[in-house]
Amino acid sequence: MSDDIGFAFELETDSLSDSLGRFLPRRALYIVTGNIGAGKSLISQRLAYGLVSNGVRTTVVTTELTTRGWLEQVNSLGYPLEDAANSGTFTLLSRFGVVSDEVEESVDIEDVLSSEALQNADISVIDRASMILQNYEGTPEQLLSRLRTFCSEERSLMLLLDPDEISDEMMRTLSASAEVSIEMRTSEVGGSLSRVLAVNRFLRAAGPVQPRIGWRVEPGMGFIVDITAVS
């Protein structure tokens, strides 16, 4: 459950919570950046499942998958969320709906933030927010002000951003102002792909925060902290 400390996201299947502050801060903006394939969606799915498992009302907005496809994806990782969706503790929104028919009307960030599902959630995740923000007509400062207003009303918001999709100024403004700023990095080492979760900022942490967390993903097991990687 959420409390004054923050939102719990601990799972028995991994040690991510022990490496990442134990709780996500309340009334906060979280930024997760990385290029396509770096793992932004996967870490958000892991966090969403952990939050729901700890009684946190969570909403996810996906710009990439249908609702059915998203649920099938997380289920394959060992993160089943169908029951939580049916009970109302978890809400999933997609611009594609249940099947692959994309909604014709363009959706902007104000439409998303004003939706009932986000208004009623403790934490909302927008994957990828940078796709929605591509056509934002205001300044980065105006956007930040709107996001701060949203978060000030007992809500937290996680934005997944691809740096190639928005301006450098907007990226700097959001990353520099967020309570939590995480960068998903990949590199090739000895012919193998190395994945690192780099914590650039984590304010109001209730526990230890490792600046670099190596990780991998296993089918049916999901997110695995790699203790052999740089931490």
The phi and psi torsions of 171 (rounded to 5 degrees) equal -60, -45
Which SS3 state, helix, strand or coil, does residue 97 take? Answer: coil
pLDDT surpasses 90 at 192 = no
Q: How far apart are CA 63 and CA 221, in angstroms?
A: 25
How much of the chain, in percent, has pLDDT values that exceed 70?
Answer: 93
Using one digit for the tens of pLDDT, what is the confidence trace for 140-167?
999 999 999 999 988 999 999 999 999 9
pLDDT at 69: 93
99 pLDDT band, cuts 50/70/90, is very low
Determine, yes or no, domain membership for 230.
no
Alpha helices in 54-120 (DSSP H): 67-76, 82-87, 109-113, 116-119
Average pLDDT in the 102-129 region?
A: 87
Q: How far apart are CA 220 and CA 205, in angstroms?
A: 29
pLDDT at 105: 57
pLDDT at 1: 44
pTM of the model: 0.92
What's the chain's Rg over C-alpha atoms? 17
Number of domains in the chain: 1
Using one digit for the tens of pLDDT, what is the confidence trace for 6-56?
999 999 999 999 999 999 999 999 999 999 989 999 999 999 999 999 999
3 pLDDT band, cuts 50/70/90, is low
Strand partners of residue 166: none
pLDDT at 40: 96
76-85, 117-126, 163-172, 188-197: lowest mean pLDDT where? 188-197
pLDDT at 188: 79
pLDDT at 187: 87
The phi and psi torsions of 183 (rounded to 5 degrees) equal -120, 125
Interacting residues of 196 by C-beta distance below 8 A, sequence separation 6+? 184, 185, 186, 187, 212, 213, 214, 215, 229, 230
220 pLDDT band, cuts 50/70/90, is confident
Determine, yes or no, domain membership for 220.
yes
Determine, yes or no, domain membership for 164.
yes
pLDDT surpasses 70 at 97 = no
Determine, yes or no, domain membership for 1.
no
pLDDT surpasses 50 at 200 = yes
Determine, yes or no, domain membership for 2.
no
Show the tokens assigned to 30: 């979280």
Average pLDDT in the 214-224 region?
A: 91
pLDDT at 209: 97
Q: Among 40, 64, 21, which Cα is nearest to 186's?
A: 40
Determine, yes or no, domain membership for 198.
yes
Domain that holds residue 142: 7-225
pLDDT at 102: 46
pLDDT surpasses 80 at 101 = no
Determine, yes or no, domain membership for 59.
yes
- Domain of residue 162, CATH code: 3.40.50.300
Average pLDDT in the 106-111 region?
A: 87
pLDDT at 103: 47
